[in-house]
Chains A and B, each alone.
Chain A
Amino acid sequence: MKKHLKPAASLKFAAIGCGIAISLASTQAISASRDYISIVGSSTVYPFATVVAERFGKTTSNPTPKIEATGSGGGMKLFCSGVGTGHPDITNASRRMKSSEFKKCQHSGVKDIVEVLIGFDGIVLANSVKTQQMSLTRKDIFLALAKNVPAPKSMQDEFTTSKTLITNPYNTWQEVNPALPNVKIEVLGPPPTSGTRDAFAELALEGGCKKISWIKAIKKRDKRGYKEICHTIREDGHYIEVGENDNLIVQKLDANPNALGVFGFSFLDQNADKVQGSLIEGQVPTFDTIADKSYPISRPLYFYVKRAHVGVVPGIEGYLAEFTSEKAWGEEGYLAEKGMIPLSDAVRRANGADIKALKSMTGEGL
């Protein structure tokens, strides 16, 4: 008899446990105050923000901030959804806030936003060290990867009348530029949801696109059409989307020496034994060439702070101070060590002062 009663008792116990769990959840829902900083946003800024957060947690009495990598766009969406401890305090971005996002923020009551430019990240086109290093121009990249390219005839002459676009006919790099090797065009890169992809299209493809003068002329008439031509990447199998994992791209490059990969500089820095960065406009991607802007494909990294949360969530000011301290974002700071390209001294000083004063952005020039 006793043996049979036991499970019934354990069932009751489980039911009590369940009740406790539910009531716990509901009390949490009511008092949703936070004592840790909540940060969302770009997966490109994530490796840098996490280092700062960790040091901040270790050196102060505040808990370590929580950082989610949601992507730049996803981060903005969460950040702009409202004021209150249920919403994140800071969002990281690998591009500037768009004016539509700024408006959305204003609309939902997030009025005062402090914008912080922290540094730069280079985007590299790399291949396996087993093969020859490539030397490309942005025009080569555009011609090799755009969906529609100018017909060869309309490229030769600046003042040509035949301004026609054709579907990208190039299969090998040599067809694009006779100086390049005769290998199939195969580029592994991030999908459209990625900030790296946006920046790559803007800096590399558009950079090459506007070298063709008649396309550049379109920009004045039809901004949308111009963007369509310059930013659309071909979808016929020569550009292969590999997800947002840059380590995966490095592994695939190692296995396939003919392919090129698109990813952030910090991954090149860490995997120099496996992959080499291609020269762009004659410049090797190194720490110095990205910092002095001679390497053309680099993008700014930002984060945005909700001013209404300063003083409500403890530690935000301390986190900002840690991030903008010379030992973090300086020339020889630990962020540079992790692969972030620092700002120039003057810009650092000016930005640092603005951040200390918690100067809100106006939304002009976005």
Chain B
Amino acid sequence: MSKPVNATSQRIRETLAQRYRAEKRFRLYGVVAILFGLLCVATLFVDIIGKGHGAFRQTYVQLSVNYEADVLGIGDIDDAQQLALANFSGLVKKSLRSRFGDVSGRKEKRQLYRLVSNSAEYDLADRLKANHQLLGQSEKIWVLADDDVDTYFKSLNSADGPFVGRTNEKQQQWIQSLVDEGQIELRFNSDFFTSGDSREPEQAGIGGAIVGSLLTLFITLALSFPIGVAAAVYLEEFAPQNRWTDFIEVNINNLAAVPSIIFGLLGLAIFINFFHVPRSVPIIGGLVLAVMTLPTIIITSRAAIKAVPPSIREAGIGIGASPVQVVLHHVLPLALPGMLTGTIIGMAQALGETAPLLMIGMVAFIVDVPGGFSDPATVLPVQIFLWADSPERAFVEKTSAAIMVLLAFLITMNTFAVVLRKRLERRW
């Protein structure tokens, strides 16, 4: 009788060390998997931040400009027509020539003019328009440097030597003389957050894309949250359990896994071709993304409603509340934190989406910051995609910087969802 027991405990004792080792190994696999994941994330972040941090500062060059009436071609300063047609580019060129006197020949002059961005002439025009007294006066102002100068200047002190790019020796000498005189410096690039897209990397910003994203997400939220919650409440609380509701449930789960480009095609076919909603505007983007996020919201909302214990409904019914009162006064408020979490995650997903927008014309070059729901707009991930595809070297750092901003938005939204869940969630 005691022998087999002994044999078993004997076997247990013999294999104990082996089983401990197996357990240790198993844990190790888990740790390695997590470390590998962390390493990937760290590499991604280091790479993106390493490439992108430079974009938050931009190179400026100091020019001393004399607003000469005959260079500008202005006879009467109060004539708006003359002011609009004035030759501000000539003014910039002249001040560059007077700064670097030793320039001769067309080719060299063209290289000289390339030192500053073409935004300089618009800056001067704005200044003169704002203050007519400046005509005939001189002043020192800081203007944006060209993107080639910018990348060269930023890499001047880098370990692998400066990035020469398209700048030539003559231009490098000029830049060096600016450095010696303290007439070139890096400044915080606030334009990056306020201005729209541009083909000149030094002027390009993500302001337009951020506003576009916000407008689009507003439409998405306004459509998908009420519809999603209503659908979830009906399916969970009121719908009879039969084949039809099973069929609908299978389809909703299926839709959540459909590739997002399909929703873009749907938007093109139904909203644009049938309902004639204009292309490239936040309305159409919001509609498509709303359709895309609906399944996610319905599924999470149903899970949240399911998590409310039946005793609460029974108690409500027991004291004479109608089913609608039970749902509106008790079930919904208790399920709301879960629903909101799902909605925020759905919104974060919509914020990062490009594929469905491709079909409905939101992958476009748009300079003006959109002012409303029917202005052409683009969104953050699309802006990243467009810049990543541009030939100019200076867009590399802009791309990474835009990715950083997008990641910051996503992290904020997801953190908010986690905090919301932690704060409001009730366990039964």
Contact = CB atoms under 8 A, between A and B. Distances in A.
A314 interface: no
A332 interface: yes
Contacts of B222: 14, 17-18, 20-21
Nearest to B122: A58
Determine the main DSSP class of B at the interface with A. loop
Contacts of B333: 3-4, 6-7
A163 B200 CA distance: 54
A63 interface: yes
Given A4-B330, A271-B393, A32 B278 contact: yes
B227 A18 contact: yes
B103 interface: no
B307 interface: no
A58 B118 CA distance: 11
A66 B332 contact: no
B291 interface: no
B278 A47 contact: no
Contacts of B277: 25, 28-29
A245 B330 contact: no
Interface residues of A, number: 56
B336 interface: yes
A53 B329 contact: no
Contact of A18 (B226, B330, B332): B226
B376 A11 contact: no
Contact of B229 (A11, A57, A63): A11
Q: Which 4 residue pairs across A and B have the least CB separation, nearest first?
A: A64-B367, A67-B365, A17-B222, A68-B364
B332 A270 contact: no
A47 B392 CA distance: 10
A8 B329 contact: yes
A11 B233 CA distance: 12
A250 to B, nearest CB: 9
A21 B199 contact: no
Nearest to B363: A68
Contacts of A43: 389
A153 interface: no
Contacts of A247: 388-391
A4 B325 CA distance: 11
Given A273-B163, A273-B164, A57 B368 contact: yes
A53 B367 contact: yes
Nearest to A33: B278
A15 B226 CA distance: 6
Contacts of A8: 328-329, 332
Interface string A46-67: 1100110110011000011011
A47 B390 contact: yes
Interface of B: 110, 114, 118, 122, 163-166, 198-200, 219, 222-223, 225-227, 229, 275-281, 283, 286-287, 328-330, 332-333, 336, 361, 363-368, 373-374, 376, 388-393
Contacts of A25: 275, 277, 283, 287
Contact of A273 (B165, B229, B278): B165
A51 B367 CA distance: 10
Contacts of B200: 54
A66 B229 contact: no
B367 A54 contact: yes
A66 B276 contact: no
B276 A32 contact: yes
Contacts of B283: 21, 24-25, 28
12 contacts: A11-B226, A22-B223, A26-B275, A54-B200, A68-B280, A244-B389, A246-B389, A264-B391, A269-B391, A270-B165, A272-B166, A338-B199
Contact of B388 (A5, A69, A245): A245
Interface string A238-266: 00000011110000000000000000101
A192 interface: no
Interface in A64-114: 64, 66-69, 86
Contacts of A272: 165-166
A53 B365 CA distance: 9
Contact of B393 (A29, A270, A338): A270
A157 to B, nearest CB: 45
Contact of A270 (B286, B330, B392): B392
Contacts of B219: 21
B388 A54 contact: no
- Residue from B276, B278, B392 having most chain A Cβ neighbours under 10 A: B278
A245 B389 contact: yes
A267 interface: yes
- Residue from B287, B373, B374, B391 having most chain A Cβ neighbours under 10 A: B391
A6 B333 CA distance: 8
A32 B281 CA distance: 12
Interface string A267-297: 1011111000000000000000000000000
A272 B168 CA distance: 12
A67 B166 contact: no
Contacts of A338: 199, 391
B223 A339 contact: no
B206 to A, nearest CB: 16
A5 B391 CA distance: 56
Contacts of B279: 38, 68
B391 A47 contact: yes
Nearest to A60: B84
A25 B367 CA distance: 23
A270 B226 contact: no
A20 B373 CA distance: 12
Nearest to A270: B391
A337 B199 CA distance: 12
Nearest to B339: A7
Nearest to B106: A332
Contacts of A334: 118
B392 A86 contact: no
Contacts of A223: none
Contact of B364 (A34, A67, A266): A67
A112 B396 CA distance: 41
Given A8-B332, A267-B391, 15 more contacts: A11-B226, A14-B225, A21-B219, A21-B283, A28-B283, A28-B373, A54-B198, A57-B368, A69-B365, A245-B388, A247-B388, A269-B166, A270-B166, A332-B110, A334-B118
